[in-house]
């Protein structure tokens, strides 16, 4: 009998192809190596997951801040309409501060003028003045706003309409800027 190892020795022998001692023969047919660097432990995975969540959260905060800063356009003063052309106890629709921003000018029963952005604070639908009910009304979800202050009075909206400062200069109503 020779001193060479047999095709499958017991626990201290080697396989026929010269693998590690104690390796079974099937390892020769299906070699599988596992490097420690390729393995990600659960704790490491959790750390990576938390770090990625932090990156996404920081990005969301940054995007929200950027969007808020973009909306902070208070607008430049500009004429809206001749005061005599406003219907008694009525409304006048105009664009302010930009050409894509709908706004509403309301003449209250006492003659005071109020202006607001025309987008409902609930989902951005257009609001209209209902003089017979003395309210600003959003038809999408039946939201109501006070025409004197823009405060939400009923329905889903919970924030007031953004007020636009107006003043009469001579015979013309001017928009001066959005109150922030």
Question: How high is the pLDDT of residue 72?
Answer: 53
- Residues 50, 27 share a domain: no
- Name the least confident of 26-30, 100-104, 123-127: 26-30
**Phi, psi at 92, each rounded to 5°:** -140, 125
Residue range 125-141: average pLDDT? Answer: 91
Which domain does 14 fall in, by range? 1-32
- Residues 111, 45 share a domain: no
- Residues 44, 124 share a domain: no
Question: How high is the pLDDT of residue 76?
Answer: 84
- Residues 44, 126 share a domain: no
- Residues 89, 12 share a domain: no
Q: How do beta strands 113-117 and 163-169 pair?
A: antiparallel
- Going by pLDDT thresholds of 50, 70 and 90, the confidence category of residue 10 is very low
- Measured between alpha carbons, how far apart are the two ends of the chain, in Å? 98
- Residues 128, 159 share a domain: yes
Number of domains in the chain: 3
- Residues 138, 108 share a domain: yes
For 41-83, the pLDDT digits (tens) are 888 889 999 999 999 999 888 887 777 665 555 678 999 999 9
Percent of the chain's residues with pLDDT above 90: 45
For residue 133, what is the domain's CATH number? 2.102.10.10
- Residues 7, 26 share a domain: yes
168 contacts 134 by C-beta, under 8 angstroms: no
- Residues 50, 96 share a domain: no
> Rounded CA gap, 152 and 141, in Å?
13
> Rounded CA gap, 114 and 134, in Å?
13
Q: How is residue 148 written in tokens?
A: 């004197």
- Residues 93, 58 share a domain: no
Question: How high is the pLDDT of residue 63?
Answer: 82
> Rounded CA gap, 15 and 19, in Å?
5
> Containing H/E element for 44?
helix 42-71
- Residues 162, 96 share a domain: yes
> Rounded CA gap, 111 and 87, in Å?
11
Q: What is the mean pLDDT of the chain?
A: 82
Residue range 106-124: average pLDDT? Answer: 91
- Going by pLDDT thresholds of 50, 70 and 90, the confidence category of residue 175 is very high
């Amino acid at each position: 009998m020779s001193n060479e190892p047999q095709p499958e020795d017991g626990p201290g022998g080697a396989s026929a192809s010269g693998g590690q001692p104690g390796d079974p023969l099937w390892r020769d047919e299906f070699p599988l190596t596992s490097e420690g660097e390729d393995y990600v432990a659960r704790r490491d995975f959790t750390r990576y997951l938390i770090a990625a969540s932090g990156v996404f959260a920081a990005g969301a905060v940054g995007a929200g801040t950027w969007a808020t800063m973009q909306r902070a356009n208070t607008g430049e003063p500009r004429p809206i309409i001749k005061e005599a052309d406003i219907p008694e106890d009525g409304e006048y629709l105009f664009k302010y501060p930009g050409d894509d921003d709908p706004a509403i000018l309301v003449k209250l029963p006492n003659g005071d003028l109020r202006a607001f952005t025309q987008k409902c604070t609930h989902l951005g639908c257009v609001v209209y003045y209902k003089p017979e009910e003395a309210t600003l009304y959003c038809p999408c979800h039946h939201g109501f706003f006070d025409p004197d202050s823009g405060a939400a009075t009923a329905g889903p909206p919970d924030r007031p309409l953004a007020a636009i400062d107006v003043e009469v200069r001579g015979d013309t109503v001017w928009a001066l800027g959005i109150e922030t």
